[in-house]
Copies of this chain bind each other. A is one copy, B any other.
Amino acid sequence: MDTKKILIVSAHPEPRSLNGALAAFAAEELRRTGHDVRVSDLYAMRWRPEVGAGDFPGHDPAERLDVMGASGRAYAEGHLAPEIAAEQAKLLWSDAVILQFPMWWFAMPAILKGWVDRVFTHGFGYGTGSVGRALYGDGTLTGRRAMLSLTIGATEPSFSARGVHGHLADVLFPIQHGVFHYTGMDALPPFVVWDSLDVAGSRFEALKGAYAERLRDLFTTEPVPYRPLKGGDYTRTMELRSGREGPDAQGLAIHLRPASPR
């Protein structure tokens, strides 16, 4: 069997929570099936969420902090704060990344957003054009797969195409398309635990079975078919050329490649 390297980033304050259990289960299951696993348990690591001057030890405090400039220089010169450099190294080491979190306010918890904000620096996460990487579909993390594993307190119909909370694919677009696809990763369909406030013992066993299946297929599941920015679909002003979307594509779904005719 082909051994792969998987990074799990986990974001819940309580290890005994459903999220804690799912992160532990994934690590165990992936190791059991022969893979190498590293876990960034952000609460256990006491991860600082907010971007600040401390991220860039070379920054002169008397000088105005330009986050993009300071992070790009610190990345290029190799003097980012060590905890940030360590997370970048884990991402580069990985073949796949799993983010485990509870959906809070239709987005990632602050500590996980702060992992993205601080780790995906200029030169690493964005502003990579100068090093020959386009954005969307081609970036520092090209060749890696990424999957969200999230718990949602609401029920599935409320996040359906007509659900009041917004279609889940649209609500997750800023992460799936804006973080994963942007940096070159293949975004997989998310693994979602719906109605997550009510997960009793027998339901948890069933969830583990479903999650084990997703983990088993981590390297074969078809990614979400977002379009590359370079390749002809977008204009120079980064707008989708007219007529490129499928006949039924609406809203953010226009950024998916239409299914090939059979």
Contact = CB atoms under 8 A, between A and B. Distances in A.
Interface of A: 13-14, 16-17, 43, 47, 49-53, 64-68, 102, 104-111, 113-114, 116-118, 120, 125, 136, 153-155, 157-158, 160, 162-167, 170-171, 173-175, 177-179, 197, 229, 234, 237-240, 242, 250-255
A65 B104 CA distance: 16
Nearest to A153: B68
B107 A13 contact: no
A51 B108 CA distance: 12
Contact of A166 (B64, B102, B158, B252): B252
Contacts of A240: 162-164
A94 to B, nearest CB: 19
Contact of A105 (B49, B167, B174): B174
A68 B166 contact: no
16 contacts: A14-B66, A49-B111, A68-B197, A105-B120, A107-B108, A109-B117, A110-B110, A110-B111, A110-B113, A111-B114, A157-B239, A164-B240, A166-B174, A171-B173, A171-B174, A171-B178
Central interface residue in A64, A116, A239, by most chain B CB within 10 Å: A239
Nearest to A114: B110
A49 B253 CA distance: 32
Central interface residue in A155, A229, A240, by most chain B CB within 10 Å: A240
A239 B160 contact: yes
Contacts of A66: 14, 17
